[in-house]
Amino acid sequence: MVLLCLGSLGCKSFSPAPLRSPIQPLPRLGAVMPDEADHAARDIATAILLDSPADAWYGMQRVEEIDAARVEAEELPTGLLPYAALANIAVISDPIDRRIALRLLLRRDDLDDSLRTRLQERADDDPIKLAEERLDERRMVRWGRLFNAISVPAGRSLSNFLLLPARLVPSLMNLALVEYDEDALTLRERQALDHWKRYVEENPEAPEAVAVLGRIQEAQVRWLETQHERSLRRSRRALENDSPKLAALMATRSLRYRPEDAEAIAIIEEAAVRAAELDEREEESVAVSEAASVVAPGQRALLLALLLPDGDVESAARALHDAEPEGPLADEARFALALAASETAPGEDAAWDVLGELSEGDSNSARHAHALVTNPHENPWYAFQVARGDATEEKLRWLAFGPLANGPRDRDLPRSVEWAVEVPTMIGALTGLPNRLIRYPFMPSDWKTPAVLARRYLERNPDGLHAIEIKDWLRDYESKRGNHVGALTLTEELGDESEKKLAKLREKAAKQAFEASAKQDRRDVRHAMLRQVAQRFKGTAGGRYAGLALREEFERGGAQSIRISRGFLLENPSVGGPEGLALAPGLLDEEPSNGELHPEGITLLGGRMAEFAFLGESGRESEEPRRVRRRLSEERMARLASQLEESSLDMALTDRDVPVEPDADRDIFLERARLGLADQPDVRANAESRYVYRGARERYGLVRGRESILPVEIVLQGSFDDFGLGAFPRIRMPKKTPDSFLYED
């Protein structure tokens, strides 16, 4: 009998609850009559507006008495006391006393999370405290660099102490160079200077203001020195790059911070000489000689052929060349003949050879020929070969020299000094050669620039002499980087693959095109791309998926797709509660038998239409949900939009890990819903939001990752260059503050 009962229980299948209305009628709230606590809150607000601290204090005392009476009667307190105390803090005139009062208020245990967060942010906004924090971070960075410069090479040499000197010396040298290159007033010291200035502006009569002014003056001197060094450094680089006018401008700027600086004056004088030479060369280049104004026989015919759209350039150029093979315009005639020949595939290479010869001469056409030959837009085949050779050469340089493949790092020092600094690195480059020989066959080359030039050649010469070679190279490049759509297009143009391989490539390309189309945010673009994929890749799995997705979007899709997950609803009960959406009871009790919501939750489809996703027939979350659509009332939509905004703001205040996710289309839709305008369609093609309100568990998982509060971390590190393994402690450098970019270059 027991076995039969157990068997019947084992055979019992899950029976889902019948679909029912997911929402319940909105509760009607009656008029709330103000009580004694409401009158006290009104009096406090009036006292604050009238700047009457005594009346505000009396109002807070009344709220405290009311709460005490409620507690004695075993009732809940009003919850107004922390806000009353905050209102009293607002009328304290002395900023120091105001911050002290804020810290005392933070000690209360009846503050809600959002209020505590706001108060903590205000209490932490202490200029003196913030300045000291930035200076502490500066000291941590300076001593941390020194510690890491010793511990890292020492720990990496545990498996081979013979390499310790070769690693320790360059590490200390790099540290010295970093300290040498650092500004006189560092980033964090600039932040501290700004906080000190703000403190003096806000508290000019404070006792600490005199001492702060002294620190401001000392930091301001170093800030002027920093500006001088920056301007002087930029002027040196401009002079090295043959930009004398920019060099003079930056050197003049440096004189504002240190007048009569000898180096800046010398740079200005040298820049003036170079600028005069440049101006002289420009005048010579645009000067017209008397001989150039004489029209040679046949010159007019060639000019007209070059300018007219139907001119016969080849005939006119050949006539000019035959008339005077060694004349003053012989090179111009050859130049025009080469241009005409380059337009046809058979004469393409010969034409560029002629232009190359002309570019090496000293005639009038040499400069124009050189510009054409070296211009990647005009001569993409030559640029493609050069770029491909450069990529191969760069890989070979890495094989031979390792980290010194491109020479020593630019440290704004003389080149000989920079090479001397890299002497210890050369030892590591030599010892790492065997490892690079092993890795070389597996190291990919950077073919991005050659690929761009190859496509440019096909755009200019789709039937050119090298078109087939270019397409074959591009197909191999696209295949290796996983661009199956591009590889398929080139394969179809070449027509040199079997039907079996072509069909396999079409399947891959269709899948890739479908995935890319589904990721598009704009509804019109997504629909067009899905339709194109379904038509182009007809008969493939990706094409079928694209067609099904497009049909589903037309059937299910709306003007919006804003989803509220079940996890978000569980963590923010006000959204689904009576003051928000007013969900039916049992949808969020984690009991599948009574109609539990699917993790997908609720989707706002535009207008006042919402789609509710329920668990499927089996009750498993992995199964496709059952969907029910309901048209919401204007009042329910307005409540939902308000609760979504309040919950999001509360999460942003209380959870520092919540990312800032701006979505203008989402905000516009919710604002229109709040105003009762959801039924008026937004006709813009891109007026669609696919935002998802997710809970913390969905965003971070069961265990949220946290950074260690310890300033030291233990690192295990291996090296491919010498197959070494090391372990060492390392100081964790403090992160930059979010506003640090305001103080950078």
Contact call for residues 101 and 694 (beta carbons, < 8 A): no
Q: What is the DSSP letter of 740?
A: G
pLDDT digit string (tens) for 205-244?
888 888 999 999 999 999 999 999 999 999 999 998 889 9
Cα–Cα–Cα angle for 263, 266, 272, rounded to 5 degrees: 140
Structure tokens at 69: 């009476």
The CATH fold of domain 183-279: 1.25.40
Least confident of 200-204, 318-322, 362-366, 658-662: 318-322
Phi first, then psi: what are they for 563, rounded to 5°? -105, 140
Least confident of 53-62, 139-148, 427-436, 534-543: 427-436
Portion of the chain with pLDDT greater than 70, in percent: 89
Q: pTM score, two decimals?
A: 0.69
Q: Collapse the DSSP code of 363 into the 3-class scheme (helix H, G, I; strand E, B; otherwise coil) and give the result.
A: coil
Residue 4 pLDDT level (bands cut at 50, 70, 90)? very low
Q: Mean pLDDT over residues 121-136, rounded? A: 89
CB atoms within 10 A of CB 366: 16
Who has greater pLDDT, 160 or 236? Answer: 236
Contact call for residues 250 and 232 (beta carbons, < 8 A): yes
* Reduced DSSP (H G I as helix, E B as strand, rest coil) percent helix, strand, coil of the chain, to 5: 65, 5, 30
Where is mean pLDDT largest: 437-446, 585-594, 604-613?
604-613
Closest C-alpha to 658, from 673, 668, 647, 671:
647
Q: Collapse the DSSP code of 715 into the 3-class scheme (helix H, G, I; strand E, B; otherwise coil) and give the result.
A: strand
The Cα 506–Cα 487 span in angstroms is 10
pLDDT digit string (tens) for 373-406?
888 888 899 999 999 999 888 888 888 888 777 8
Structure tokens at 18: 């019948």
pLDDT of residue 93: 78
Query: What CA–CA distances, in Å, run from 269 to 245, 266, 274, 276, 610?
Result: 11, 5, 9, 11, 74
In the chain, where are the structural domains located?
36-124, 183-279, 298-374, 386-549, 561-687
pLDDT of residue 3: 45
pLDDT digit string (tens) for 651-693?
888 887 788 788 888 999 999 999 888 887 776 767 788 899 9
pLDDT of residue 247: 93
Phi first, then psi: what are they for 724, rounded to 5°? -95, 165
H/E element, 51? none
Enumerate the H helices of 33-112 as residue ranges.
Answer: 36-49, 53-72, 81-90, 95-106
Cα dihedral 409, 411, 417, 423 in deg (nearest 10): -40
pLDDT of residue 287: 60
Determine the number of helices (DSSP H) and then strands (DSSP E) in the chain. 32, 7
Q: Are strands 562-564 and 692-693 parallel, antiparallel or unpaired?
A: parallel
pLDDT digit string (tens) for 470-494?
999 999 999 988 899 999 998 888 8
pLDDT of residue 244: 92
